């Protein structure tokens, strides 16, 4: 399974759009929300495309997958009766992988967090500055109200990690349309400690429906969402809390 084909921050998002011998075609990797139109499965990509493939019959509707795929002009389009739109009939490349999804938000510190949390590390990029990277389309594209987040952390072979979000109720303000989410990393250190630590880049999806309902009022405007996380300082056992470089926007208009 080659996740790096799809992970945006790895500069491995393969995106080409060419014109050769009068034939349009493209190849790309994307995060894809799986939906259905009648009996036809299709995907909504974070890049704004609608795609379909017979392999999507084996995928779970409502889930998000990392998928690499290609399309040739001769493959044509598939009409989607329920949406009155058409999807590219694509060929899926490699093995798609399903993202973990979180539904609902606990209030911060529920369940209790450890006194010293595991820390995130920078996602390799030209600036090498991103720690947590949000990937989602504009509000005109529906991915089931899910946001995708990429993140990096250090672990050994055999270790596993769980990432979850909690609502920071103390710093959030409904009246000012400002939400603060804490992002937690828990690395279960089950691997061989003689092995070298390696940087892993992974992704998960957070369903925004519960947060949306918390801020839903008769005068609801777009909500600014700040993400706070623990950053690995590079010193053993030492982390510090940092916010993302920018606020993200949970839109109510145009949904």
Domain limits at 40?
3-98
For 63-85, the pLDDT digits (tens) are 999 999 999 999 999 999 876 78
Claim to verify: residue 65 and residue 168 sit in the same structural domain = no
Q: Around Cβ 110, how many Cβ atoms within 10 Å? A: 11
CA 93/CA 51 separation, integer angstroms: 13
Same domain, 112 and 47: no
Closest CA to 43 of 87, 81, 12: 87
Identify whether residues 211 and 150 lie together within a single domain. Answer: yes
Burial class (CB in 10 A: 0-12, 13-18, 19+), 163: buried
Longest dimension (CA), the chain: 62
Q: Which of 98, 113, 134 is the last residue of a domain?
A: 98
Residue 109 within any structural domain of the chain: yes
Pair (163, 244) in one structural domain: yes
How many domains, the chain? Answer: 2
Q: Is residue 255 part of a domain?
A: no
Tens of pLDDT, residue by residue over 13-60, are 445 555 444 458 899 999 999 999 988 999 999 888 999 999 999 999
- Beta-strand ranges (E) seen in 46-99 are 50-52, 64-72, 77-80, 85-89, 91-98
Residues 31 and 145 in one domain: no
Helical (H) or strand (E) element with 210: helix 209-214
Which of 54, 73, 98 terminates a domain? The answer is 98
Predicted TM-score of the model (pTM): 0.84
Q: Are residues 210 and 126 in the same domain?
A: yes
């Amino acid at each position: 399974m080659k996740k790096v084909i799809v992970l945006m921050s790895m500069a491995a998002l393969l995106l080409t759009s060419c014109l050769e011998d009068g034939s349009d075609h493209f190849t790309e990797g994307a995060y894809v929300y799986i939906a259905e139109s009648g009996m036809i499965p299709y995907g909504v990509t974070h890049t704004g495309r609608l795609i379909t493939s017979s392999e999507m019959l084996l995928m779970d509707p409502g889930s998000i997958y990392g998928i690499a795929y290609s399309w040739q002009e001769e493959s044509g389009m598939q009409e989607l009766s329920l949406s009155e739109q058409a999807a590219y009939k694509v060929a899926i490349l490699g093995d798609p992988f399903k993202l973990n999804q979180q539904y609902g938000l606990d209030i911060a510190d529920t369940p209790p967090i450890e006194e010293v949390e595991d820390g995130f590390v920078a996602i390799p990029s030209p600036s090498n500055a991103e720690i947590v990277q949000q990937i989602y389309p504009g509000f005109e594209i529906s991915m089931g109200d899910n946001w995708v987040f990429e993140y990096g952390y250090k672990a050994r072979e055999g270790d596993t990690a769980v990432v979850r979000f909690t609502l920071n109720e103390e710093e959030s303000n409904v009246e000012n349309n400002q939400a603060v989410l804490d992002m937690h990393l828990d690395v279960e250190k089950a691997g061989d400690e003689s092995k070298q630590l390696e940087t892993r880049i992974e992704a998960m999806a957070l369903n925004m429906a519960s947060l949306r309902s918390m801020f839903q009022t008769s005068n609801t405007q777009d909500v600014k969402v700040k993400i706070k996380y623990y950053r690995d300082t590079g010193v053993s056992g030492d982390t510090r809390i940092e916010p993302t470089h920018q606020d993200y926007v949970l839109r109510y208009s145009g949904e």
